[in-house]
Amino acid sequence: MNRRYCLTLDLRDDRKLIAEYRRHHEKIWPEITQSIKDAGIEDMEIYLLGTRMFMVMEVNERFSFDTKMKADRENPKVREWEELMWKFQAPLPEAKPGEKWLLMEKIFKLEK
């Protein structure tokens, strides 16, 4: 059974940087896409409004945040990508030092 996680992060309030960030996401490095799939993430979407981003991840039973973080730390290409992305991203006020995407709490679901 798949699970869904929703995360949020801000971009720096700079139109040129936001445009560049968008361009990077039009053609994500293949190593990054592969690392996402290898982690058990079956689908991922990122939405943007102003500077606020919202990510939706559909994951399978293999996925774990801890395992993904460990694999990312051991992958030089993922570390390079994350370092590049940090140029565009701004931590949320709730973030601990070095934290990027923060998990959101579901507070409502439409019942059938």
Residues contacting residue 25 through CB under 8 Å, at least 6 positions apart: 46
Residues contacting residue 49 through CB under 8 Å, at least 6 positions apart: none
Query: Is-contact 68 39, C-beta < 8 A?
Result: yes
Task: Give alpha helix (H) positions in the chain.
Answer: 15-26, 30-38, 65-74, 76-86
| Confidence check: pLDDT of 1 > 80 | no
CATH code for the structural domain at 3-103:
3.30.70.100
Model confidence over 42-96: pLDDT tens digits? Answer: 999 999 999 999 999 999 999 999 999 999 999 999 999 999 999 999 999 999 9
Percent of the chain with pLDDT over 90: 95
Which pTM value belongs to this model? 0.90
| Confidence check: pLDDT of 112 > 90 | no
Backbone phi and psi for residue 69, each to the nearest 5 degrees, phi listed first: -65, -40
Q: What does the domain layout of the chain look like in residue ranges?
A: 3-103
| Confidence check: pLDDT of 102 > 80 | yes
- Report residue 104 as tokens: 């959101």
State CA 13 to chain mean position distance. 18
> Residue 49 gets which letter from DSSP?
E
User: What mean pLDDT value characterizes the chain?
Assistant: 96
How far separated are the first and last CA of the chain, in Å rounded?
Answer: 19
